[in-house]
Each structure stands twice: as structure tokens, then as C-alpha cells.
Amino acid sequence: MTDAIQIRGVTKTFGPKVAVRNLDLTIPQGSLYGFIGPNGAGKTTTIRMIMSIIFPDKGDLEVLGRTSALDSKDQIGYLPEERGVYRKMRVGAFLNFMGRLKGVDALHLDRIVRDWLDRVGLKDCYRKKCEELSKGMQQKVQFIAAAIHKPQLLILDEPFSGLDPVNRRLLRELIMEQHRAGHTVIFSTHAMFEAEQLCDHLFMIHKGDKVLDLPIGEVWRKYDPRTVIIEPMEALHDVDSSSWASLPGVREVQQGGRGFDLRLTDDADPSAVMEAVTRTTRVRRMEIKRPSLEDIFIDLVGGEAAGLRAELEAEHGATPELTEVARA
């Protein structure tokens, strides 16, 4: 199987700022790749270079076997971060226009447009003007515009931003459907739990540098779970948690809002620890906590964690686990 995208030694600077530094990245065909990183990390720049909208200062890239995405535009679907619609145009006319621009057979185009609108729950919007739609509805229309020509390679820049939970799920399903059909899908997000739920490959970028590029399974293997969460049946102050600290493999016990986090040493066996805990305490919930991508990310970028944490919290509310990891 050939690779959908190959990036070799690509650097792009904007004035004094290095947006992407000496990047190597290979995206195999059929994969579902997540580009993650905070705002301004270089995700959009990388995607724009893949799309040949901007060109690298150094290095070269190959998209669908060609040196420029311009040569295979009709096989690529792209939902840019900066996306708009013609406000005065009707939804149906707009999608027909986009379909024609992407070389969809004019004969079936209108039926395809109607099918798509039906599937995303915008059946009645065919004759509405784009400006009459809510932001979330517009986003769905834009997704259709990106995917209407069944592209082999679908690139979505921040596809989830501004969607409510129902539409997030709908979009996840649509993405999975493209993935199952064997198309390569790349999406970027700074909301890392989206990536956690969806992608099979992870690419993390921070300040223009690649910090991680692994299949998701590898990521979990590499960042092995080292914390057990315990929520006891009794009130927290009635629980004798001090004894847990002396269990073999437990490094530290922390009390949180609803329960306790047991930090394990690197060589500990989580199941043995859990068994030991259940012998002394009645437990409502107990689980081995997988590190979130956020944890991993912050782990990787290390020293700059404090600033990042503030940024991430600002993005989607405070996350208690994150706070603890950062403290540890």
C-alpha cells in the first residue's frame, strides 16, 4: 500500500516565526490520523502545505503520489479552519456549486446533495439561504462540501469546533464512515479527547516541532497506566486510606473530590493493587486510569506545562486529573 502523504524535511517560516521545523511525516493510505497540539502549534500550517495552499521553504512533500495536491484536487476533500459559505446563496445551490468545482458528475450531483442533506438532518434546508443557518448547521454543510466527491483523502481542520454534543457524535460517525470506506482521513484538533475517541494514529506538534507520531496502540503501550482510581462506598473521611500507601507498588496516595488516586511505581502490577484494596474497603468504582492525551502531551512538552495547562483549561473547562498530573 502506498502512502497517502509523505512529508520530508519540511520547514516553513513566517517572518521570524518558525511555524513548522524540519518535519518528517508519513501518513499511510486508509489511516485515520489525528493532528493534535495547542493553538498555534503548526497544525494548520502543515495542513495548508499538504493542500499546496502555501509552500514550504525547505523540504518536499508528496500527496497521493504526486508532488503537489493541485494535481489531485478532485481526490482530496478539505475542510479548512477558516471556513465560510456564500451567505446569500441557497444551501442546495451552494453544495451543487461546490460539487461541480470538485468534478462530481453533474447528472447525479443534485441527488447526491439532497441525500447528504437528508443524512445530516438538514433536509428542509435545501432552499434556505446559507445565512439563515446556525453555525453548527453551516459546519455540517461545509463538511458535505468537503466530502461530496468521495475523496480518497479527507483533511479536516478543527472539524469539531463549535458543534454541540449531538452534532459531534454525528460528525464522528460521518468520519468513521469515511474511514471504513477505506479513505484516508486526517483531522486536526486541539481538543484532545476527540482524537482519543477517533483516530488510529496520532501526530502531536508543538511550536513547530513534532513531539509524537505513533499508532494509538503504541501510544497507550508507551504511556502505560500508572494510576488507580478508587471511589469508596463510605464517606471519604471514614476510609482508612493510610494503609494503602504501604501496599506493594503504591508510590503515593492522593485524595480527590470523590475518591482517591493511587500512584503506582513503574514495576507495580495494577491488578494486584486493586485486589488488595477491595479486601479492606467496600468500593463503588475502581478503575485503572489511562493517561489522557492531554497528560501525555504535557508530559512530552515538560517544562512548559504550566502555561499549556492554563491554555487547555481555558479551552474546555478545568480538568481535575490534569491538575494533579501537572503537580506530580
Residue 235 C-alpha cell reads as: 464517606
Q: Does 142 bind another protein (CB under 8 A)?
A: yes
Shortest Å, Cβ 51 to another protein: 6
Q: Does 42 bind another protein (CB under 8 A)?
A: no
How many residues interact with another protein (rule CB under 8 A)?
29
Q: Does 92 bind another protein (CB under 8 A)?
A: no
- Segment interacting with another protein (CB under 8 A) among 74-82, 206-214, 267-275, 294-302: 74-82
Q: Does 80 bind another protein (CB under 8 A)?
A: yes
Q: In three state form, how does the secondary structure of 228-260 look?
A: EEEEECCCHHHCCCHHHHHCCCEEEEEECCCCE
Q: What are phi and psi of 233, to 5 degrees?
A: -70, -40
Out of 8, 21, 83, 172, point to the residue binding another protein (CB under 8 A).
Answer: 83
Shortest Å, Cβ 327 to another protein: 39
Q: Does 76 bind another protein (CB under 8 A)?
A: yes
Q: Does 82 bind another protein (CB under 8 A)?
A: yes
Q: Which is nearer to another protein, 146 or 219 (CB)?
A: 146
Going by the DSSP 8-state scheme, the letter that residue 13 receives in this structure is: E
Q: Does 43 bind another protein (CB under 8 A)?
A: no
Following DSSP, what letter does each residue of 138-206 receive, concatenated? Answer: HHHHHHHHHHTT--SEEEEESTTTT--HHHHHHHHHHHHHHHHTT-EEEEEES-HHHHHHH-SEEEEEE
Q: Does 116 bind another protein (CB under 8 A)?
A: no
Q: Which is nearer to another protein, 91 or 230 (CB)?
A: 91
Q: Does 260 bind another protein (CB under 8 A)?
A: no
50 contacts: CB under 8 Å, gap ≥ 6:
5, 7, 61, 63, 69, 155, 186
- Enumerate long-range contacts of 120-129, CB under 8 Å, 24 or more apart: 120/144, 120/170, 120/174, 121/170, 122/91, 125/91, 126/90, 126/91, 126/92, 127/90, 127/91, 127/92, 128/90, 128/91, 129/87, 129/88, 129/89, 129/90, 129/91
Q: Does 17 bind another protein (CB under 8 A)?
A: no
Q: Does 238 bind another protein (CB under 8 A)?
A: no
283-289 and 227-232 strand pairing: antiparallel
Q: Does 88 bind another protein (CB under 8 A)?
A: yes
- Segment interacting with another protein (CB under 8 A) among 114-122, 138-146, 179-187, 275-283: 138-146
Length of the chain, please?
328
Q: Which is nearer to another protein, 92 or 256 (CB)?
A: 92
Out of 1, 2, 16, 84, point to the residue binding another protein (CB under 8 A).
Answer: 84
Q: Does 161 bind another protein (CB under 8 A)?
A: no
Shortest Å, Cβ 146 to another protein: 7
Q: Which is nearer to another protein, 14 or 65 (CB)?
A: 14
Mark out the alpha helices in 25-134 (DSSP H runs).
Answer: 43-50, 91-101, 106-119
CB-side exposure of 57: number of CA atoms within 13 Å? 13
Out of 11, 22, 28, 53, point to the residue binding another protein (CB under 8 A).
Answer: 53
Q: Does 77 bind another protein (CB under 8 A)?
A: yes
> What whole-number distance in Å separates Cα of residue 118 and Cα of residue 121?
5
Q: Which residues bind another protein (CB under 8 A)?
A: 48, 51, 53-54, 70, 73, 76-89, 97-98, 100-103, 142, 145-146
